[in-house]
Structure 1
Amino acid sequence: MKQIIIIGGGAAGFFCAANLDEKKYKITILEQNSDVLQKVKISGGGRCNVTHACFDPKELVQFYPRGNKELLSVFTKFQPGDTMDWFEKRKVSLKIENDNRIFPESNSSQTIINTFQNEIQQKNVEVKTKCSVKEIEKRDEKYLIKTSLGDFEADFVIYTTGSSPKSLKMIESLGHKIIDLVPSLFTFNIKDDLLKDLLGTSFEMAETSIPKLKTEESGPLLITHWGLSGPAILKISAWEAINLAKVKYNFEIQVNFISKDIDEAEELFQNVKISNPKKLIGSSKIFDVTNRFWQRILEVSKVDPNKQIANISGKEMQTILENLCKKKFQVTGKSTYKDEFVTAGGVDLKEINFKNMSSKLLPNFYIAGEVLNIDAVTGGFNFQACWSEAWLIAKDLNNLN
């Protein structure tokens, strides 16, 4: 019986094992940590954001700053609808939330972990934890995998280690080209009076742009302890990951907190001025922002909140509108979420055959998951890439004579 060694007990490794034909192969998973599926466990705040309700491969690839061209063919063979189907066949109920993220009904990542564990137990897959791979050697038709628990021989290797520098070094030593790792999803560190002490203030729809890079994104925005976060920031950080690393995370960002252009905002302001001239500016609800944020806008615009709205000068109004619609901030660094850390970089995609995720350089060697130079914005997309790639590998191996 031929031996398959899966290096890495994460999402891609387990999904691959769960779909392999155990009558044909002896399957072993090697995991260096004491726990498997660690990212699955903590994803989505412990609820596991399994995938995203986007069922058109052409639309789906738009969420991947790196890998979008290559993943198109992958997603035509296995996409989020197939993922849902796979889990539902195993009696796992999934639900689509308002933002299209998909979670187990149980709201617990343990449901997903148990499903994988059950699948591989039924297939007699052996899992070796605390098993650190030291070296992989090509020997004639086979591979010798040297680990902290001794040597393993493999007819086929499936490399799903995640993006740790050590695992990239190991695959580089086998001849693969590695694109340098840079963080991909991060929040922006900003010190500015407008944001001070407004931790937790959110905006339903904001527009952000980095003029120097001619790039813009929109979406919900959040003021954090260290600056700005939320989808509008995370998306721009993912798409511009490489450029932002080049400028060492020092750059200017422009924010429109209300997603209205300045002329439209001015018209709203003028209408309120006409309809409620005696109202105090501090208690006027002109724009859809929190009261705390509105008070801060007036403070940094040097406008007295006790002034009647009719007495607001044209210059004062312009300053308020500039701060709301065209506020420039200096970004002086980044903060990453340790739990949901995603990187750009990894194995060069030119060296992978995306029909079956096999290495173009190494025979009987497959690569999937975050070790590849593929990454996505948050929302279940990184997992979907893992499931789809792993499914292709299993299908290819199952079809071999």
Structure 2
Amino acid sequence: MRKLQVGIIGGGASGFFAAIQAAKNGAEVFLFEKSNKVLSKVLISGGGRCNVTNGTSSPSEFLKGYPRGNKFMKKVFKSFNPKDTMSWFEGRGVPLKMEQDGRVFPVSDKSTSIANVLQKEAHSFGVKVLYQSGIQEVKQVDGKFFLKSADNNWSVDRLIICTGGKPKKEGYTLVEQLGHSIQPPIPSLFTFNSPSSQIIELKGLSVPNGHIRFEGSQLQYSGPILITHWGISGPAVLKLSAYGAKWLHEKEYEAVALIKWQADFTEEGLRTELLAYKKEHPLKKISRNPLYGLPARLWEFLTDKAEIEHELRWEAVNKKKINKLIEKLFKFSLIVSGKTIFKEEFVTAGGVELNEIDANTMESKLVKGLYFAGEVIDVDGITGGYNFQAAWSTGFLAGNASTN
């Protein structure tokens, strides 16, 4: 009896996970990859360490990591969740560790540990990986899927599309050929450019728990902030960029970011503490003695912006200058003008409309036998392992359901 044939387009995280599940269930699986290498994103993510998932304990907290598609993912995670991911990799000889911020990495700190086990598992179940086989055309005739590349034709019984997020709508041609609608893609996970700000002279400095909010919006996030040679980056910035992806896109990436250099600063608290410090240390030079654990160069920069002269001592500072220093500590105003894509974590918001996909199986509601997994759908997560978790979970569901 002929085996069920399953075609998978895209050799990334979701493609491999779907391929392994379908082949494990007895299907003959063909994985089509347009380039000459697979799992590229797995290999470069997390600085080459691969942030496999996030160990945030509560499911409701975990779902907050998805600015778009969290209701959809809530259903998906009923079948395969972060704990299942950790068990899957550890059960195949890849020990994992969780860092303080919840991010999960292989103990080896090498993304090759993750890529190798996926390839080994796929090989053991007979998945056929077809390199340099970019599919250009797809159609369904009499329940079968016909695929066409530059120099070959194939037909399969079931099809799983795992082509990832694309920067432009044209990247979703195959999906549209099969009658699906696309939420137009826009960038998510990017850093903020501030080319006209003198703050870029402090490149390389960071604060462990700052807070950023955008003027004129409810968008805000706390966490580490890094000053770069083009503006600001770090986890707080990347997460805020994901939540604010659509708002910032509409603003053409021109906005005012208000930075608190410590997330727990309050205006009154700062005033009380600075006046008490002034009383206790009247002879100390303000700009030479950093407070609140801020880097010395950042403190000096902020006092300079508050128009506090370098040699000024606390005993001689007036109320006006103290108020100005409080303003620079509590809501430092940074003009954001443009973005830089965070290359290791390239993610797009947008993709296949979720109301056209069954969250219990990842099957298309429009085309029987067609499935989707990974970033090709309109789900995206913040940095910290959320996008890979979406890939493993949707790949697991699609691979299993395609063989039932």
Question: Structure 2 length as normaliser, TM-score?
Answer: 0.96
Which runs of structure 2 are paired with 1:15-54 in the superposition (5 Å)? 15-22=17-24, 24-54=26-56
Measure, in 2, the Cα distance between the counterparts of 1:289 and 1:192.
23
Which runs of structure 2 are paired with 1:373-392 in the superposition (5 Å)? 373-392=378-397
Deviates more, 1:144-153 or 1:343-352: 144-153
Measure, in 2, the Cα distance between the counterparts of 1:55 and 1:150.
47
1:306-337 alpha-carbon deviations (Å, 9 max, x no partner): 11111111011111111111122211111112
- Which residue in the other structure is 2:221 paired with? 217
Secondary structure of 1:77 counterpart: coil
1:168 correspondence with 2:185: no
Stretches (4+) displaced over 6 A:
none
Which residue, out of 218, 229, 232, partners 2:233? 229
- Which residue in the other structure is 2:288 paired with? 283
Measure, in 2, the Cα distance between the counterparts of 1:81 and 1:257.
35
- Which residue in the other structure is 1:327 paired with? 332
Q: State how many pairs are aligned.
A: 399
1:56-115 alpha-carbon deviations (Å, 9 max, x no partner): 322211100011010001112211110010011111111111111111111111111110
8 Å CA contact 2:19–2:399 kept in 1: the answer is yes
Percent identity, aligned pairs only, is 37
Measure, in 2, the Cα distance between the counterparts of 1:149 and 1:354.
35
- Which residue in the other structure is 1:247 paired with? 251
Measure, in 1, the Cα distance between the counterparts of 2:342 and 2:290.
35
8 Å CA contact 1:55–1:80 kept in 2: the answer is no
1:201 correspondence with 2:205: yes
Question: Structure 1 length as normaliser, TM-score?
Answer: 0.97
Deviates more, 1:356-365 or 1:322-331: 322-331
1:350 correspondence with 2:350: no
1:178 correspondence with 2:175: no
Aligned AA (2:188) = S
Measure, in 2, the Cα distance between the counterparts of 1:301 and 1:217.
25
Aligned AA (1:171) = V
Measure, in 1, the Cα distance between the counterparts of 2:372 and 2:267.
49
1:199-235 alpha-carbon deviations (Å, 9 max, x no partner): 0111111111112222221111111111111122112
8 Å CA contact 1:353–1:360 kept in 2: the answer is yes
- Which residue in the other structure is 2:377 paired with? 372
- Which residue in the other structure is 1:394 paired with? 399
8 Å CA contact 1:193–1:300 kept in 2: the answer is no
Measure, in 1, the Cα distance between the counterparts of 2:297 and 2:25.
64
Secondary structure of 1:157 counterpart: strand
Unpaired runs of 5+ residues, structure 2, are: none
Unpaired runs of 5+ residues, structure 1, are: none
8 Å CA contact 1:194–1:297 kept in 2: the answer is no
Deviates more, 1:28-37 or 1:15-24: 15-24
Provide the aligned C-alpha RMSD in A.
Answer: 1.3
